[in-house]
Structure formats: structure tokens, C-alpha cells
Chain A
Amino acid sequence: MSAFIHTVYPVASGDYTRAGEASADIKRKLKQLGVASMVLRRVAVASYEVELNLVIHSMGGELILEVDEKGISLTSQDVGPGIPDISMAMKEGYSTANEEARSLGFGAGMGLPNMKRNADGFEIDSELGKGTRISMRFNLV
């Protein structure tokens, strides 16, 4: 199926100043497409969470938005360090975020479970030393 939107957003590690800009652009694009506000909000929340995760935890990566007639795909791919225990990371309240992230109001260990809750499809794969890939799908029909 051919995507009619395919945008790649590079996200830098530790760049808290720009964190959220990709998600704001994603929300703007989807709003222009006429995506219903309930779906739009779910995508925006999941996108912001995953973008913040890239900034807080990764060594850098990218966020990829793809839209086709059936739905919206949001993929986060980073270059490390990888998650040692995914089942722990998926638990609400479990966090390895640093002080800087916490001082900004993040790192409460809600990110991954919140992404899963908001998406219709959620997959996470991680390899230590290689990186983490999170794929989320949001149905439009």
C-alpha cells in the first residue's frame, strides 16, 4: 500500500529545547488531512511520548510518520543503547530517566505503557548496543 505521507524527523539525544517539535508538526499535518480529533489526540500523545523517549533515553534516532488510506503509522528507530529488560520498561512507574528529564516533568515511567494504550497496534524490539524500534499503528477506518 502506498503511503501518501512519509516524513522522517531526526531527533537528537538530549535536545530538550526542540523535543516536541516533530510531534507538533505531525499533529499539524494530520489535522490538515482532516483526521478526527479523538484519533488525532491519541496519535499526538503517543508521538510526544516516543519523541521524548528518543531525547531522554536514546543516543539519537528518528521518528517516521506514514499515512495511508487505512491508518497512520508512527515508527521510532534509534541507534542505541537498547533496553535491557522490555517487560520492566513496559511497567507503569518504572523509569531510568535522568534528573534533567525529571526536572522538566517527565520520566515518571508512564511513556511506553501510555503509547501502547493510545495506539491500536504497538510493537517494540530492542537489542542492547544496537538500538530500539517502536512501531505504532492507528486505524482510520
Chain B
Amino acid sequence: MTIQDMVDLLRAKVLCGEDKLETPVFSAFCSDLMSDVLAFVSDRTVLITGLVNPHVIRTADMLDLKCIVFCRGKVPTAAILEDAKDLGMTVISTRETAFTTCGRLYETGLKGVSITWPQEDKQT
């Protein structure tokens, strides 16, 4: 699946990064809690969120995430989008809910990230 496929599936609007729509995507993580994004996302993945503030972009930058999907019709401010653009990210916005966004993408083959729990760390 590519970012363009996600745009089509979600009838999403591309807010920045139009030149990177053919980039393949392999996994996704959905959360409005950036704390959890920082704790659980360890690989390049798509971030799906309904939270709109500069920390979404900063969190994504720390993790090298390159694609953000804002759901429930959320659109970040021009300043936030400018930051995302400077960092080489593609940002899209869909009117679908987080549940429907995830469902559509999962149904089409996009996987969630695997979480390693501390107990499992100790056992290995």
C-alpha cells in the first residue's frame, strides 16, 4: 500500500508532502496520546490521530515517522503544516473517524505495530 492508496481509501485531503504519495507504507499506529506513541512506536509507521497540536509533529519527528493521518476532519494550522513540510512529512486529513480509518486500512492489508511488553523482555 502507498500513501496515495490511503488517500483514495479514506477520501482524504493531502495537506502537505504531495511529492511523496508513492511512498510505500507497512504499518500504522492510532492514538491521541503522544505518550503512548513515544512508548510503543519503534519502527517507521503511519500515525493516525485526532489530536491537533505541534507536539504531534514533534513526536513524529523524534520517531522518524513520515506520514500522519488526521481523522475526524481535523486540520492542523498552517504553522504546524509548515513544520511537517520542513521535516519531509506527508500529512493527510480524512473526515472518517479513527475507528473507520483504522478499519479501512487494516482491511486492505496495513498492519498494526507489535508491542513488546516489559514482562516479555525479562523472559527472553
Contacts and interface: CB of A to CB of B under 8 A. Distances in A.
Contact of A114 (B32, B38, B56): B38
Contact of B39 (A44, A105, A110): A110
B33 A20 contact: no
Contacts of B39: 92, 108, 110, 113-114, 117
Contacts of B37: 105
Contacts of A111: 35
A106 B58 contact: no
B35 A44 contact: no
B35 A27 contact: no
Given A24-B61, A105-B53, A105-B55, A45 B38 contact: yes
B53 A49 contact: no
Contacts of B33: 105-106, 108
A24 B23 CA distance: 24
Interface string A88-119: 00001000000000001111111101100100
A110 B58 contact: no
Contacts of B21: none
B62 A27 contact: yes
A41 interface: yes
B51 interface: yes
B99 to A, nearest CB: 19
B55 A110 contact: no
A48 to B, nearest CB: 5
A19 B55 contact: yes
Contact of B35 (A47, A109, A117): A109
Contacts of B36: 108, 110
Interface of A: 16-17, 19-20, 23-24, 27, 37, 41, 44-45, 47-49, 92, 104-111, 113-114, 117
